[in-house]
């Protein structure tokens, strides 16, 4: 007679022999789902501003903006409008620093390839927030496949200098204490 123990072992063996290939198959499917979801993630930062059917240009916006990415914008969009679509320049803030916008400089570089002369053309605009926009920035003609990079700069404050000098002085003092104790 077959004991209950042998029957349970047989049931476990049969169920595991069915379960193991299915787990392996699920892991393969999960890998395929991951690759598919990564493909969709690649398209997350394409921001469509232009309405469907509207003539549009595609530009890359990089750097210190609140929403960098590839923008599909209507033709005749101005540079300040494009920066507004990105939610403006990003702020430099942390728990200890409060940014004074009057001391901030913004540098905008627009890079595009000129197919006629086979050269990269670059336009630069630099301004402070308390000054008017530089000449030509409002009327700059944005073209397809240009790269707009925004860089926010500020003068270093006293706290920035302390953050650099304090660790050096601390290391020197610690070295003297260690040598003194030896």
So what's the pLDDT on residue 95?
A: 54
In a domain, 30, yes or no: yes
Q: Are residues 39 and 97 in the same domain?
A: no
The domain of 95 spans: 46-161
Contact 58, 82 (CB under 8 A): no
Give the other-Cβ count within 10 Å of 41's Cβ: 9
In a domain, 125, yes or no: yes
Q: Are residues 69 and 127 in the same domain?
A: yes
Question: At CA 42, angle to CA 36 and CA 123, rounded to 5?
Answer: 165
In a domain, 93, yes or no: yes
Q: In the chain, how long is the greatest CA-to-CA distance?
A: 99
Q: Which of 142, 143, 144, 124 is nearest to 134 (CA)?
A: 124
Q: Are residues 52 and 37 in the same domain?
A: no
In a domain, 169, yes or no: no
In a domain, 68, yes or no: yes
Number of independent structural domains in the chain: 2
3-state secondary structure of 43: coil
pLDDT of 169-182, one tens digit each? 888 888 888 888 87
So what's the pLDDT on residue 149?
A: 92
Q: Which of 180, 80, 95, 174 is nearest to 127 (CA)?
A: 80
Q: Are residues 90 and 156 in the same domain?
A: yes
Below-50 pLDDT ranges, the chain: 30-42
Q: Are residues 108 and 127 in the same domain?
A: yes
Q: Are residues 8 and 32 in the same domain?
A: yes
Q: What is the DSSP string of 50-83?
A: SPTTS-EEEEEEEESBSS-EEEEEETT--HHHHH
- Strands in 104-114's sheet, in edge-to-edge order, are 46-48, 69-74, 56-63, 147-154, 104-114, 119-128
Q: Are residues 136 and 63 in the same domain?
A: yes
Q: Are residues 62 and 127 in the same domain?
A: yes
In a domain, 167, yes or no: no
Contact 64, 151 (CB under 8 A): yes
So what's the pLDDT on residue 15?
A: 62
Q: Which of 176, 156, 173 is nearest to 164 (CA)?
A: 156
Q: Are residues 63 and 147 in the same domain?
A: yes
So what's the pLDDT on residue 33?
A: 46
User: CA-CA distance, 118 to 114, in Å (whole number)?
Assistant: 6
Contact 110, 41 (CB under 8 A): no
């Amino acid at each position: 007679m077959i004991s209950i123990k042998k029957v349970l072992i047989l049931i476990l063996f049969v169920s595991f022999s069915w379960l193991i290939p299915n787990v392996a198959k699920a892991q393969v499917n999960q890998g395929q789902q991951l690759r598919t979801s990564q493909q969709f993630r690649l398209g997350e930062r394409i921001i469509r501003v232009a309405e469907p059917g509207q003539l549009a240009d595609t530009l890359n916006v990089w750097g210190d903006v609140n929403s960098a990415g590839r923008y599909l914008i209507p033709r005749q969009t101005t540079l300040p409008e494009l920066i507004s679509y990105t939610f403006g320049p990003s702020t430099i803030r942390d728990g200890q620093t409060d940014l004074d916008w009057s001391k901030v400089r913004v540098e905008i570089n627009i890079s595009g390839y000129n197919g006629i002369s086979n050269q990269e053309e670059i336009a630069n605009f630099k301004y402070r927030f308390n000054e008017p926009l530089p000449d030509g920035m409002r009327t700059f003609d944005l073209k397809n496949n240009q790269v707009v990079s925004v860089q926010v700069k500020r003068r270093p404050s006293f706290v920035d200098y302390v953050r650099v000098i304090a660790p050096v002085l601390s290391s020197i003092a610690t070295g003297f204490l260690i040598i003194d104790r030896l």
